[in-house]
Structure 1
Amino acid sequence: MKSYKIAPSILSADYANFESELKKLEATGADYAHIDIMDGHFVPNISFGAGVVASMRPHSKLVFDCHLMVSNPEHHIEDFARAGADIISIHAEATPHIHGALQKIRAAGVKASVVINPGTPVEAVKNVLNLVDQVLVMTVNPGFGGQAFLPETMDKVRELVVLREVNQLDFDIEVDGGIDDETIGIAKEAGANVFVAGSYVFKGDVAHQVQTLKEALHD
């Protein structure tokens, strides 16, 4: 069975104090720092680029899970690999060259992850599942924090579990959007094992919120 991992999204953190925010996350026993990269084109918002990731890298031993919500992500892979990304997630919808882009991530020595939006069928990534270490299922529409979890996206998680077993593959299934102490159990039951949570983690005491998520996983 895949181990469970908590991946707080720093999109909801205090941007002026990333170093201290990362230290707080490490102290909670979180597994990943989920870093949302937005270009203002593929999604409406703009967040931060590879330079910001590079500046954070010396201050944290957390796995840097970089989610590229950008058009033509293949143009940015090397920059984020150099910046210290451990995992790079790219959207199936963002490039016509998804095979090549995933191969480029792996060639850079980084774990490769493919993302599907709520409106994108699993069929769109079926032919690249042998190239990935992770599949990220968006459980909200990407680009904004604080949205409500879309339960119908769990059908995609269940479908991915079946495809992984049938094809004897070994990728993680990550969910992102609207994850809290209630929805994390729904995602776990569907078959997800990596859980991104932003607004929920940073809306209160970070250590308490992460602990609550961990406890919810073991209920």
Structure 2
Amino acid sequence: MAATICPTITAEESHGYRAQIERIEHFASRWHIDVGDGIFEPRKLIALDKLWWPGNVQVDLHVMFQNPTAHIELFVVQHPRLVIIQAEADGDFDTFADTLHKHGIQVGVSLLASTPAEALASSIDKIDHVLIFSGNIGYQGGSTADLSLLEKAKYLRGLKPSLEIGWDGGVNDENAAAIAAGGVDVLNVGGFIHNAHNPDAAFATLVKAVS
């Protein structure tokens, strides 16, 4: 099965958020939206209560908060396809995961480059998606894809074959195929698409590369 190319939206305020949506909405049906509290990561991103998206789009919400469990009621109301929190964040993960699953929302965990995949072994039964993070947290573009992190994908696939594995950071037309071949199902892409002269063509190039 071909990997999925998922454009990211990383904005500090509503105007930039809308501009990024308008750049991708006509060609992408699954989006990765970043939110950050300015504590876990260095840049406070658009507020949770300012988020919106069309009803025909699948949304993966990447929550870079120190205490994401404090916002679980809002996640339930917004009802994205998937909520991804950081493995390094605070809070009761089991209760968080159980609550989201009860409301039909998938649960994901993101691993910073320095966090070993083995850290998720005890919770893997409650996890639908693991995001391997190789980026500059809180920023879009300018990252380098560290392909040595694909060892995490190999370990995770052995731990739970049905797991969806994502990648965030440095994806471009030169490495997308290698990342997909390394066991990644979803390639989240920011700068390569948003900074392109023709975002539609950039997206199509990546789709072809991982097909």
Same fold (TM over 0.5): yes
Amino acid at match of 2:110: V
Matches within 5 A, 1:1-219: 1=1, 3-11=2-10, 16=15, 18-19=17-18, 21-22=20-21, 24-28=23-27, 30-53=28-51, 56-57=52-53, 59-146=54-141, 147-165=143-161, 170-204=162-196, 205-218=198-211
Amino acid at match of 2:48: A
Whole-Å separation in 2 of the counterparts to 1:141 and 1:24: 22
**TM superposition shift of 1:142:** 2.0
> Which runs of 4 or more aligned residues in structure 1 lie more than 6 Å from their structure 2 counterparts after TM superposition?
none
Q: Percent identity?
A: 25
Task: Please give the secondary structure, in 2, of the residue aligned with 1:27.
Answer: coil
Contact preservation (8 Å) 1:118, 1:141: no
Structure 2: stretches of 5+ with no match in the other structure:
none
Structure 1: stretches of 5+ with no match in the other structure:
none
TM-score by length of 2: 0.90
Relative to structure 1, the CA distance from residue 12 to residue 46 in structure 2 (aligned partners, 3 Å threshold; closer, same or farther) is closer
Task: Please give the secondary structure, in 2, of the residue aligned with 1:127.
Answer: helix
Task: Please give the secondary structure, in 2, of the residue aligned with 1:47.
Answer: coil
Contact preservation (8 Å) 1:5, 1:195: yes
**TM superposition shift of 1:14:** 9.4
**TM superposition shift of 1:104:** 2.3
Task: Please give the secondary structure, in 2, of the residue aligned with 1:93.
Answer: coil
Whole-Å separation in 2 of the counterparts to 1:14 and 1:143: 13
**TM superposition shift of 1:141:** 4.4
Task: Please give the secondary structure, in 1, of the residue aligned with 2:171.
Answer: coil
Task: Give per-residue Cα distances to partners, 1:183-202, cap 9 Å, x unaligned.
Answer: 21121111001010001111
CA-atom RMSD in angstroms? 2.1
Amino acid at match of 2:140: G
Whole-Å separation in 1 of the counterparts to 2:158 and 2:180: 15
TM-score by length of 1: 0.87
Whole-Å separation in 2 of the counterparts to 1:62 and 1:22: 11
Whole-Å separation in 2 of the counterparts to 1:199 and 1:15: 19
- Report the more deviating stretch, 193-202 or 83-92: 83-92
Whole-Å separation in 2 of the counterparts to 1:95 and 1:47: 19
Whole-Å separation in 1 of the counterparts to 2:199 and 2:4: 16
Contact preservation (8 Å) 2:11, 2:17: no
Bigger helix fraction:
1
